[in-house]
Amino acid sequence: MEIGYALSSVMTRGPDLGLLPMADAETNMMIRPTHSSARNSGFVIPRILSALVIVACVAVTTGFWVMRDRPLPGRAGETATVDGGAKPGTVGGVPLFGNWPKESPEVALVLTGQTYGFLSPCGCSRPQKGGLERRANFMDSLRQKGWTVVGLDLGDAAPPKGLAKQNLLKFRYTMLALAEMGYAAIGLGEYEFHNQLFNLLAEYTLQFANKPPFVLAANILGVQRNEKGEPIKLFPREEYFSGGPNNRAMIEAFEVIALKDKPAIGVVGVVGSEAAVKAEKLDPQFSFANNAQVLNSTLTALANHPAKPQVNVLLYSGPLAQAQAAAQAFPQFQIVVCQSPEPEPPQFPILANNGKTLIIQVGQKGQNIGVVGLYRNAAGFDFQYQLVPMGEEYLTPTDPDPEKNAAIEKNHKLLTLLEQYTAEVKKENLLAAARAKPLQHPAQIHNPAAKLTFVGSAVCAKCHAAEYAVWKGTPHSHAYETLVKRATRPGLRQFDPECISCHTTGFEYVGGFENEVKSQHLFDNGCENCHGPGSGHAQQPFNQELRASLSPWATNPQSDVKLPGLKFFQEMAAKKPLERGAVVMDPVQKQMISTVTSMCMKCHDGENDPKFDFYEAYPKIYHSEMKNAGLPPGAK
């Protein structure tokens, strides 16, 4: 039987807490326990919990799901270190959890979110932060201390853009990794709706019966709209997302984590108003109900839950201001996790309700994670907080013995998952999928009659021997080999379109790199990645229009101004960033340098090359002013 909500329930709002569903949450949810096993300054938050009023008690099964202990050779938290990395268990040389009590917390909550499909750093430069492997190693190190660890994720686990098939793969392997690490629940963010939510649910939730992490979004509704896009009928979450395993809805309102001899933890997920508005535009089959009403009904269900949660966590997929409003309106939540607008999060939580509620932001792409320790006191609990950067000290150490190293990798579940991911990327031939609709290079657009294509750096070398020699001496000239021979944990990166775009020539454009069989002449980051497709110039070296197209940074063809010489860049490299800003230069040159910098930053961005400095790097590839070096007679 169809159930429709009154439309006014969606369109009205309480405080600006986001749009959330009105349906009462289930009062008979199964207890879902999670694992039980054996920057600095810890942040201490005293907390006296008020007992939740238990209106009714429903008998439920109290079996416990316990993750197997899985000590692995050489895991972080032991004695091994990585070249250039800090000693495990420290931040800036100061021990993690240094200000925490000496005894183990009752429960350690590991909080993450806004991963955006970031499975692993590319490894093209060092140091880089983040990645599921490091997170797993860190969580294992806590369990090795005898801590009980529970993982919770805010959501936005899916990438915001990219190849649809690859995005689905990333989401599946992210969920598999979270399950392996002991996550109990994950919220929904805006980017889940960029990727067709039902398709994402099919990648994990429908395939693994009653297996966490469970997807939480208490406010989501199905909706039927008229031809104008206006809602005419609403469907409750549990009905619209039915069809999950064991009659469990694919998206739940809340989850209760019951751990033997540990405090029960209630977790609620909601989609904030900003994300809700965007989600409705992306996929009109969804709508969201009133935030305040939904949180009221969900908290009532938690209060009536037989496990009697003693700590409540709100996964609020929205900005800090709205999360603060939610925390103040619903002080029953002692921990609120919300979105961070920046990759790097604040070191400490924001406090609300006279210090009784922690509002936590953990940043983006899994580069940092938050850990909350629950310590029982006479009246309730004290909370400790630690922000932990996922640096290279949490990489799985290697062993010089190939057999031992292979054993380490074989026994490491997360490394195995990552290898399975890249193997599936290869099997699905995502390189071909990514090139199904190649772009027109600007030079191809401006010179359509020339039918420009990419010819490879070896063709350039026939006339530009000196310039080619400079290129040959840079890492650009063996970029493809780096993927094939040096990229490990996982390997097979040469079949990943996200990697290959910076390690081959012209991949995203018509006539550019396709695959390792057809396009060996376009291996590596060659001349044409900066200069554009060179077939026209190779065939007509004296055609001024085609020659001009090979300097795309010269936006004004009528100007005689050229890029500064090598000495200028060397002098700029020697200056501090603030000193560079005081250097007076020709406005046209300044614009040209900005254009070249933008071209470099397509690959040398803050994620893949966090220490990239244009002025320090440019002299290493500088190859101008080589007049007539290897050119045919009469050429300039």
Cα–Cα distance measured from residue 241 to residue 603, given in angstroms and rounded to the nearest whole number:
40
Domain final residue, candidates 552, 570, 585: 552
Q: Does 46 fall in a domain? A: no
| 215-266: pLDDT as tens digits | 999 999 999 999 998 999 999 999 999 876 567 889 999 999 999 999 999 9
Query: Quick check: 3 pLDDT over 70?
Result: no
| 128-176: pLDDT as tens digits | 899 999 999 999 999 999 999 999 999 999 999 999 999 999 999 999 9
Question: Residues with Cβ < 8 Å from 565, sequence gap 6 or more?
Answer: 624, 625
Strand duo 183-187 + 335-338: pairing: unpaired
Are residue 405 and residue 444 in the same domain, yes or no? no
pLDDT at 64: 22
Q: Does 40 fall in a domain? A: no
Cβ atoms 77, 89 nearer than 8 A? yes
Q: What is the mean pLDDT of residues 415-431?
A: 97
Written as one string, the DSSP assignment of 62-88 is -----PPP---TT-TTSS---TTPPPT
Identity of the residue numbered 535: S
Cα–Cα distance measured from residue 2 to residue 626, given in angstroms and rounded to the nearest whole number:
76
Place 125 in a pLDDT band, splitting at 50, 70 and 90. Answer: confident
- Based on the number of CB atoms within 10 Å of its own CB, is 113 exposed (0-12), middle (13-18) or buried (19 or more)? buried
Are residue 365 and residue 410 in the same domain, yes or no? yes
Are residue 275 and residue 327 in the same domain, yes or no? yes
Range of the domain at 233: 19-30+51-91+105-423
Place 124 in a pLDDT band, splitting at 50, 70 and 90. Answer: confident
Domain final residue, candidates 493, 521, 552: 552
Distance, C-alpha 198 to centroid of its chain: 20
Place 67 in a pLDDT band, splitting at 50, 70 and 90. Answer: very low
| 306-352: pLDDT as tens digits | 999 999 999 999 999 999 999 999 999 999 999 999 999 999 999 99
Are residue 331 and residue 355 in the same domain, yes or no? yes
| pLDDT, the chain, mean | 84
Are residue 542 and residue 626 in the same domain, yes or no? no
Are residue 545 and residue 599 in the same domain, yes or no? no
pLDDT at 279: 94
Are residue 626 and residue 484 in the same domain, yes or no? no
CA dihedral 15, 268, 300, 322 (to 10 degrees): -10
Residue with token string 């949180």: 295
Q: What is the mean pLDDT of residues 435-441?
A: 95
Domain final residue, candidates 552, 578, 612: 552
Query: Quick check: 21 pLDDT over 60?
Result: no
Are residue 462 and residue 588 in the same domain, yes or no? no
Are residue 531 and residue 567 in the same domain, yes or no? no
Q: Does 584 fall in a domain? A: yes
pLDDT at 201: 94
Q: Does 354 fall in a domain? A: yes
Q: What is the mean pLDDT of residues 383-411?
A: 93
In this structure, what CATH number is given to the domain that contains residue 127? 3.60.21.10
Nearest Cα to 498, choosing from 599, 568, 422? 422
Q: Does 503 fall in a domain? A: yes
Return the percentage of the chain with pLDDT > 70, whole number.
83
Cα–Cα distance measured from residue 32 to residue 259, given in angstroms and rounded to the nearest whole number:
8
Q: What is the value of pTM for the model shown?
A: 0.84
Are residue 162 and residue 286 in the same domain, yes or no? yes
Question: Residues with Cβ < 8 Å from 539, sequence gap 6 or more?
Answer: none
Are residue 244 and residue 208 in the same domain, yes or no? yes
Cβ atoms 108, 150 nearer than 8 A? yes
Are residue 193 and residue 236 in the same domain, yes or no? yes
Cα–Cα distance measured from residue 286 to residue 283, given in angstroms and rounded to the nearest whole number:
6
pLDDT at 557: 63
Q: What is the DSSP code (8-state) at residue 246?
A: G
Token code pair at residue 39: 């920057």
Number of domains in the chain: 3
* Strands of the sheet with 286-288, listed across from one edge: 231-235, 220-225, 286-288
Q: Does 8 fall in a domain? A: no
CB atoms within 10 A of CB 567: 9
Q: Does 11 fall in a domain? A: no
Q: What is the mean pLDDT of residues 569-574?
A: 94
Query: Quick check: 203 pLDDT over 80?
Result: yes
Place 88 in a pLDDT band, splitting at 50, 70 and 90. Answer: low
Segment holding 388, helix H or strand E: strand 381-389
Question: Residues with Cβ < 8 Å from 184, sequence gap 6 or more?
Answer: 32, 34, 150, 151, 152, 212, 213, 214, 255, 257, 267
Query: Quick check: 617 pLDDT over 50?
Result: yes
Query: Highest mean pLDDT: which of 40-44, 501-505, 604-608?
Result: 501-505
pLDDT at 627: 54
Q: What is the mean pLDDT of residues 100-129?
A: 92
Q: Does 480 fall in a domain? A: yes
Q: What is the mean pLDDT of residues 367-372?
A: 96
